[in-house]
Each structure stands twice: as structure tokens, then as C-alpha cells.
Structure 1
Amino acid sequence: MDALLHNPIADMYGPDFLLLYGSVIILITIVCGWFVQDPTKNQSLPLIPSQPDPYEIAYLRSGAVEVVKVAILNLIQRDYLQVSEQLIRRTSKDNLSELQPIEREVLASFSSHPGTKSLESIAAKVQSYCQIYEGQLDNEQLLYNQQWQAANIQVGLIAATIILSLGAYKLFIALGKGRHNVGFLIVMAVLSIMFIIWFASRRSRLSIRGEAYLKQLQQTFAESKTKVKYSLPSAFDYNLVVALFGVEALAGTTYDSYYKIFFPTRFSSSTSRQNNSNGSSCSSSSCGSSCSSSSSCSSGSSCGSSCGGGCGGCGGGCGG
């Protein structure tokens, strides 16, 4: 018992212990960072197929919601769905034999009456169909595995326990000796533990290999973004572009109306700026009233200066 109360650490002067404690925290953080790693960091990337599956790529990039967006575009191209006044509705075409199960599920979410649909609710319905894509991506180690996450959390908990134990031991020793200037010790312990737990438990949806593979895909098919705007793209080209780059890539293309469904604010803002540049803020009635009520029309020069630069409609009113 005496060894616990009197030893180099227990008898260490406060500032000296804080220096030692800070060094221990830094060392443990470095070791923790060494063990908390993505095992795919140095692995080679999978080969890129000549015609990748747009649904699988969409799921890789951002999950089931992006798969739904690609499926809707595919159904629009095949005349099962259509855009009406920035809403999507179902057409009269009902031959479902040529559709994949995921496309049938998405199509079933729409009716012939246009209305607002929640992508999240549709994505929840097709999630079961996306399991095949998740399994393929998991096999390629492109998604961050839950087992890796569990192991990282264990490492973080061990590191946090060491920091907490050392800090708590010194805290109890100090309080037992009647020393209460322990605020800085508590702050160091709490902040370092919070950081290590956050560092160990954070995870991205994709593994390092998955992020690198997605980036390589986007670079390989970067020309497709230009092709859908200025060339004669196929349905596959449109689906692949949306899968890789999102609906934003459809701006200015044949399916610009589909893009505007997701970004109506951008469209409204550009329209408003165009109207302002065309002088829509100056109405003919207000201009006419301001010119007719002008008392300076007795002089041609004064009319020119006061009304001519306004809306261009005063020449006839002031000529008599």
C-alpha cells in the first residue's frame, strides 16, 4: 500500500507530472494511429471494366439513394416515366418483363398522377435489391468493413483506458495530499480521451481502396460528361454519368428537366438573374406614369435627361 502512495509518479511535482502525462498521451496517440488503419491502404486497385454496371457504381459512390436516381433516369429514357412540371409521373407503358427487379420497384413507387416522392423512402424499398452490389463491393474490399471498425474501437478503448488510469491515479494521490489544483490534469485527460475515441471510431463509407477506385473510374470516364452534352450519347452513357458524377452532370443535356427536379433553386436563381438583366424590374405602367407626370417636358433636353434614360418610352409623350 505504501508503494502506491510513495513512488516516483506519486511523489512527482505537479508540472513535471503534467509534462510526463502529455508525453504519454502523445505516444499513445501515435501508437493508436498506427494500429487504427485501413488494411486496404497499399492494395492494388481492381481492373476497370469496359462497361461497368451503373447501379453498382452508384451504390459505391453514395448508396441506395444514388441507385434510385440512376434507375429513375433509366426509366425516363425507356418511356416508363416522364417529367411533368418538375414532377415525375408514370406513363401508360406497362411491359415490365424487360425491367430488372430494382427498376420495377422504383417504377411501382410512381403513379400516373405527378407528385413529390421521397428518394429516401424509395431507397428503403430497393435496399434489399442492393445487397448484391454491397456483397460484390465487400468482396473487393471497396467498402469499409464493420469488422475493421470494431477492431479500431477496441484499440481506442485500450488507449483511452491507459490515459484514464494514469490520470485518475495521479488525481487521487493529489486529492489525498490535499492538493486541489488539478484542473489542468482533468482537462488534459478528458480532451485526449475524447479525441482518441473519436479518432478510433470514425469511419468513412468507403475504404481507401474504394475511394481510389471510384476516383480512377471518374478519371477513366471523364469524357462521358462532355459526351452527354455535345455528342450522341447512348442510354448507358447517361446512366454511367449520373452514377459517377451525380444528377448535376445532366445540366444542359437532353435530360436537363430531370436535373432541375433536384436543383430547382439553382434554376430559379438563374431565371431571376436573366429577367433582371432584361429589364423586367421596370414596368411600362410605372415608367409611363413617371414620364407623364413629369413637369419638365416643356424642354426637349430636359425630357431626354429625365425620361430618355429610364425605359425609352417617353419620346412620344414629350414630343407635343
Structure 2
Amino acid sequence: MLNSFEAALYQRLQDFALDDPTHEFGFTRHLMKNQGWTLIYTQRAIAEYKKFAFLTVVANHQVVPSDQVDQVWHAHVLLTQSYWEEFCPKVLRKKLHHHPARGGRTERAEFHHLYVQTMTSYRDFFGSPPADIWSPPDIRFGAELKMQRVNLSEYWVIPKRLPQMRFAWPLGVMVIIALAIAGCVDLGQKSPFGRFVSDFIVYHFITILIVSVILGLILRYWIRIPSQQPQKPQLDIYQMAYLAGGSVRSVELAITQLVHQGYLRPNVRHRTLAIEKALPSGANNLERQIMQQVHQHPNLQSLRQISKYKTDFLQKQLEQEKLFITGWEAIIRMSFGFFLVITVLGLFIASVVSGLLTEPLMKIAPVVDMMIVIWTAIGIITACCFVPSGRTRWGSWLLADIKKNHDVYDVTQRFALYGYGALSGGTLDDLKQMFKAEDEEAASGGCGC
């Protein structure tokens, strides 16, 4: 509930028009052109800018804008007469300067803290901020700092994140098998197998390929039952992490929680973690396991070794909620994925073998050909059943629902769902740097010349 001063200020902001009716190409259209925004999004961004300006007056701390709000602010400051002669003295009734960031680790941590405070103040007055304008801190001080102006008449803009394809895996299987068959034809053009494969491709290959994929997808659908349950479970933060990223994510979350709460302090130079204070008696089981390991091996690489921790209790809890595939269906979804490699290798081996068949053994060529066809079909079916995540359809739906509705300003929830890329601010920046360095080192460790 706004008091009389706040209500009067908010009303003045709502009445203030940024567009000059005498200008054909006004403020809103300039923003749309320069930012590539739609009309509706631009109007929403301007509305959020006014809320930000409101907070600069009533909040008892320095207010930090989102990147979109900052772009509106930049554009408004350039309208010097409107900004300095109308907006500041008559609407805000105070000077509102725009100070560029000086840079550095200390200021970054301070701005991160102030941005989180700004979100808290925003909630107090306006409720939950729109996440597509007020980005989470890890994005606000991460990806959004790398934006640049691009001349669209000279460059194409192609997103790095392409749309996900639900059937990319089966289509990939089909392409691999088709290439394998084509390779067999080249290797065995003069062999009985080569002649058979050529006829097979012309008359039967596409049919068997499609039927095999359909059967594989039906089996995959069946082993991922259930698709829904009567009641949606309420998962804790560690169950969310395990559902999203397995035991690796849950262990890394425990490390992050201990750093975030001040129990551990990261050392970027040596990639170690030092104990700052003791855990309370009622601490989480996984966090207690982490602290025990820190006493013995404080380096991050050792602490991330999953074999040192007991996380099976998390999987059992999620299996009870029907979120993970269990029983013999779980064996199918893993073993069938490895069958693809055997299938492709088998095709090439069969091509070579059939090419070596001598005249007395030619009578068994049709049997070899038929076995290859059956082997290929089974390989396609089983490869389609591979479920890397191990989640049921109910588990995948629940995870998508959590990602859609989670608190985007809660760093631990974002870490549970997206990993260490969501870390931002102070010691969490240090921990993110350590995680990233470890992964880059592991990725390049096998290379050499």
C-alpha cells in the first residue's frame, strides 16, 4: 500500500509522456529501431523504467536497473531537455545521474548485491518483476554484458541455441545407418552382400528403416511411463538438482550451498576450499559429507568425485515419485543405446566378410544378408529407446514445470536447474571460475601432439 507521497510520485510518473506528439519519429519508435524490440515489449520496458525511477526515490538503497531498463534510461538521458528540465525536477523532484561502472571485482560484487536488493524492493511495491525484462543476476552480469550493436545490413544474426528437435535422436540414427549401408555397398560392390544391399536400398530399405524407428519410438514411449500422476510432488533443492543433472549436480549444489552460506571459502589460485565455520548439527546429509571430504582433501577436483558420496537416497526418493525409470525398463534405456555402436560396426564387418566368401560358401550369402537386415532393424529400434536422462515423461514434465515457475532470483534454485553457469556475485563468482577451469582442464587433458 503506497503512502500519499509515494502515490503522488507514482501518479506523476504514469502521467509523464516520453513521446513528443509533435515528433513523427518519437521516443518509442527510436527504442524499437535501436533495440530491435516489438511495440508491446518497448511499451512494457518503458513502464518498467518508470517503476525503476520510482524506486530510485523511495528505496533506502542505491537502485540498479536491468539491462533493458538501462537501455531505456540511456535513451531518455539523451533527450536532455525532457530529462533535465521536465523529468528530474518536476516528476522525480531530484537529480538522477547515470554513472558508468568503474569495473573490477569489488564493484561487480557490490552491483550484484544492490541488484538483488533492487529486486527485493521491487517485490515490496509491485510484486514479482517480469523475468524477460528484469533478468536473473547471473544473466544480468553475465551474458547481457556481452551485447553489442550489429549492422543488420552487413551481418546475419544466427542464434547459438537452435530450437530443440524431439525426434533428433531417431533421425540421427537413421542417417548413421544409411551412411553405414552406403559404405557397405562401396566396400562390397562385387560381393553377394553388395548386390543384395543395392537392391535392398532401392526396394526395401526405407520401409524397414521407417518401421524400425516407429517401433523404437513406441517402445521408448512405453518404458517412460507414467506421463502424469494425480499429485505433483514438492521437491527440495537437492531433489531438483538430482532430477535436472543427476548425482553430479547434487554434489556440486552442496558445495555451492556451503560457499553461499559462508561455511566454505574458495581459493581460486589453488582451487581449494577452506572451512570458515562448523556446520550445525541439523545440516543436510550431503553437505555433511562434503565437509568431511574438505577435512581430508580440500581441492575442488577431489571434492567433485561422485564416488566419494552416497547420493543413491536421492534417486530412490525420486523413483518413488515415478520421476525416474526403474526396473528392467531402466536396463533397456541404457543397454539399447550401446547396441547402436555394435550395429554400425557389425554392418561393416559383415560387408568385409561377405566380400571374402568363396564360391563354395556362396550358398550361405542369403542367410548372412538376412541376418544383417534383422541386426540393422534391431539396432535402430534399440537405439531409439536410449534415454540419457533416465527420466520418465512425468519426470521430464515436472522438471519443465519447475524451470518455468521457479524463482529466477534464487541462486540455489537456478544452480540446481542449470548448473554452475547460474552462479554470480562475490565468492560465487570465484567458485564459478573454479568449476569452469576444472571442466576446461578436463576437456583438454586428453589432447596432445
Q: What is the TM-score with the length of structure 1 in the denominator?
A: 0.55
Contact kept, 8 Å, 1:48 with 1:217, in 2: the verdict is no
In structure 2, the residue matched to 1:198 is 383
| Residue 115, structure 1, aligned to residue 329, structure 2 | no
In structure 1, the residue matched to 2:405 is 220
Q: Return 5+ residue gaps in structure 2 as ranges.
A: 1-195, 344-353, 355-359, 441-449
Q: Return 5+ residue gaps in structure 1 as ranges.
A: 1-13, 161-170, 228-236, 268-320
1:31–1:81: structure 2 CA closer, same or farther, 3 Å change rule? closer
Please state whether the residue corresponding to 1:63 is helix, strand or coil: helix
| Residue 240, structure 1, aligned to residue 413, structure 2 | yes
CA distance in structure 1 between the partners assigned to 2:214 and 2:303 by the alignment: 42
Please state whether the residue corresponding to 1:89 is helix, strand or coil: strand
| Structure 2 counterpart of 1:104, from 288, 298, 323 | 288
In structure 1, the residue matched to 2:423 is 250
1:263–1:45: structure 2 CA closer, same or farther, 3 Å change rule? farther
Name segments (4+ residues, structure 1) moved above 6 Å. Answer: 151-154, 181-184
Contact kept, 8 Å, 1:89 with 1:112, in 2: the verdict is no
Give 1:199's aligned amino acid: C
In structure 1, the residue matched to 2:322 is 141
Shift of 1:56: 0.9
CA distance in structure 1 between the partners assigned to 2:419 and 2:302 by the alignment: 17
Q: What is the TM-score with the length of structure 2 in the denominator?
A: 0.41
In structure 1, the residue matched to 2:252 is 69
Give 1:115's aligned amino acid: N
Contact kept, 8 Å, 2:216 with 2:380, in 1: the verdict is no
CA distance in structure 1 between the partners assigned to 2:402 and 2:393 by the alignment: 14
Give 1:103's aligned amino acid: E
Contact kept, 8 Å, 1:59 with 1:67, in 2: the verdict is yes
1:205–1:119: structure 2 CA closer, same or farther, 3 Å change rule? farther
Bigger CA radius of gyration: 1
Cα distance per residue 1:288-311 (max 9 Å; x no partner): xxxxxxxxxxxxxxxxxxxxxxxx
Contact kept, 8 Å, 1:45 with 1:212, in 2: the verdict is no
Please state whether the residue corresponding to 1:61 is helix, strand or coil: helix
In structure 2, the residue matched to 1:34 is 218
Give 2:292's aligned amino acid: A
1:179–1:253: structure 2 CA closer, same or farther, 3 Å change rule? same
In structure 2, the residue matched to 1:91 is 275
1:48-59 map, 5 Å = 49=234, 52-59=235-242
Equivalences, count: 225
Please state whether the residue corresponding to 1:262 is helix, strand or coil: helix
CA distance in structure 2 between the partners assigned to 1:33 and 1:39 by the alignment: 11
In structure 1, the residue matched to 2:192 is none
1:40–1:190: structure 2 CA closer, same or farther, 3 Å change rule? closer
Shift of 1:132: 2.7
CA distance in structure 2 between the partners assigned to 1:241 and 1:28 by the alignment: 39
Please state whether the residue corresponding to 1:72 is helix, strand or coil: helix
Please state whether the residue corresponding to 1:263 is helix, strand or coil: helix
CA distance in structure 2 between the partners assigned to 1:99 and 1:215 by the alignment: 29
Cα distance per residue 1:103-137 (max 9 Å; x no partner): 1110111149963433442x22222xx33321221
Please state whether the residue corresponding to 1:109 is helix, strand or coil: helix
In structure 2, the residue matched to 1:211 is 396
